[in-house]
Amino acid sequence: MDFLHNPEFGDKLVTLMAAFVLVFQIAMVGQRSLIMNIRLFGAQSFLLAAIAAVIAHYNHAPHIYVAAVMTVLVKVILVPVLLERLVDRIEIRHEIEPIVNVPLSIVISGGLTLVAYIVGESFYHPETGAASLGHNTLAVAISVFLIGFFMMINRRKALTQVFALLTLENGIFLAAICLTYGMPLVVDLGVFFDVLVAVLVLGILVYRIRETFESMDVSKLRRLRG
C-alpha cells in the first residue's frame, strides 16, 4: 500500500478527477435537458469532494475532510434535490434554449479552456517541487469558472442561470482547494452556507419571476409592471 503515501500518485489522482470535472462541465454546456443538467452538476460536485478528500489525505490537512463532507451534503445531495423539486413545481418540460447554438457554444467552451490553460500556466512554478500537488488543477478550475460565466450569459431562463452560477462556484472551490490546500474552515463553512442560501433565495426568485411574468425568460424583465 505504498501508493497511499506517495504524493505523486495523489497528484495523478487529483489531475485525473479534475479532467473529469472539466468533461462534466463541457457536457453541461452541451446538455439540453434540465434534469440531466442538475445530475451532471451533482456528479461534478461529487468529484470535487473526492478531490478535496485526496488533497486532505496527501497534505495531512484534516480540516479539508470537513469541506469534502460538506460538499457532499450540500452540493451533491441538498442542492440537486432542491433544484429538482423546483423544476417539478414550476413544471418546466421544455429544454434549455441557449442563445448561441449548442455546437458553437461547445467550441467556445473549448476556446475558454485554452485561455484558462494559458492563464493557469503562468502560476505554475516547477521549482517549488513538492508543493505542486494538483498544480494543473488550477487550469481546470479557471476553465470551469470561465465556462460557468459563459453559460450564464448564454442562457435565457432564470433557472438555467442558477446552475451556471453553481458551476461557477464549483470552479472557485476547486481553485481555492488546489491553490491553498483548503481555506480556513470558517471560510469554507461560510461559502457552503452562502451557496445553500443562494439556491433557496434564487429558487424563490425564479418562482416569483415566473408568477409575475408568466415566463422565466430574463430578457422579458426589461418591461416594468406596476
CA distances from 185 to 49, 53, 177 (A): 15, 14, 12
What does the DSSP assignment read for 45-80?
HHHHHHHHHHHHHHHT-HHHHHHHHHHIIIIIIIHH
- Residue in 5, 12, 63, 89 binding another protein, rule: CB under 8 A: 12
What amino acid is encoded at 148 in this protein? G
Residues 14, 53: Cα–Cα separation, whole Å: 10
- Residue in 25, 45, 113, 167 binding another protein, rule: CB under 8 A: 113
Residues 82, 79: Cα–Cα separation, whole Å: 5
- Residue in 10, 22, 48, 175 binding another protein, rule: CB under 8 A: 22
All three cell numbers of 114:
485554452
Residue 138 makes contact with another protein by CB under 8 A: no
Q: How far is the CB of 19 from another protein (least distance, A)?
A: 4
Touching another protein, residues 36-65 (CB under 8 A): none
Q: Which is nearer to another protein, 65 or 97 (CB)?
A: 97
Return the residue matching grid coordinates 435537458: 33
Residues 118, 204: Cα–Cα separation, whole Å: 39
Q: How far is the CB of 209 from another protein (least distance, A)?
A: 28
- Residue in 25, 136, 154, 170 binding another protein, rule: CB under 8 A: 136
Count of residues near another protein by CB under 8 A: 26
Q: How far is the CB of 111 from another protein (least distance, A)?
A: 9
Binding site for another protein (CB under 8 A): 12-13, 15-16, 18-20, 22-23, 26-27, 30, 102-104, 106-107, 109-110, 113-114, 117, 121, 136, 139-140
